[in-house]
Amino acid sequence: MTYPVFAVTVDLVVLTVREGGLHVLLVRRGIEPYLDAWALPGGFVLEDEDLPTAARRELAEETGLAGAGGHLEQLASYGAPDRDPRGRVVTVAYLALLPDLPVPTAGTDAAEAEWRPVGKLGLAFDHDRILADGVERARSKLEYTPLAAAFCPPEFTIAALRQVYEAVWGESLDPRNFHRKATSTPGFVSPTGGSTEGGTGRPARLYRRGDAALLNPPLLRRRPGD
């Protein structure tokens, strides 16, 4: 019996909140196929790597975002026979949620790297589908986990956390209702004892991410149809 030969790649859906909106990290390809097209960062898995190691390496090599912190998890695998014109390539996609970071620096086979608002982007390969799956995973995670804090620095205000929900879900939330639920939901956030300084308004309390793995009941539910 002969066995088919597959190449394995990793692709990364890297999301952050910038300028009040949800942004994805993209690279402009410097090599064929899809020369000059925009795509998710990623590349081939080396023989001596496991998948998470390959994902972190590709993120650092193609964007310069090494040790960026945040959250990284496996999203899904994609293996349509015609997804890559170079041959039979299966990719394992990862979802990364990061706080707002400086402009990335392109490297290796990426000609350029930048943050783009999430939307209809016309990406190379099947990356539009992978991006859509990653955004939906992020939106769902915000319903039942404390992962919204992955978009924030280590210490943050409840208002900053609410802005994450508004950016990722694309809807406005009542500030008082959100504050009440955020501070009363067990394991969601934990007060640091500090507060903001130097602003023009009243100082706001600072919080850090709570220790709950799941929120039961969920902090908030998306509106039907979202």
Active-site residue set: 112
Helix H, strand E, coil C: the string for 114-170 is EEEECCCCCCCCCHHHHHHHHHHHHHHHHHHCCHHHHHCCCCECHHHHHHHHHHHHC
Tokens representing residue 211 in the block: 């220790």
Which residues, in sequence order, are CB contacts of 212 under 8 Å at separation 6+?
A: 145, 146, 186, 187, 188
Asked if residue 91 lies in contact with residue 11, where contact means CB atoms within 8 angstroms, the answer is yes
Asked if residue 44 lies in contact with residue 8, where contact means CB atoms within 8 angstroms, the answer is yes
Asked if residue 20 lies in contact with residue 100, where contact means CB atoms within 8 angstroms, the answer is no
Q: Which of 89, 92, 93, 69 is nearest to 80 (CA)?
A: 89
The C-alpha R_g of the chain, in whole angstroms, comes to: 19
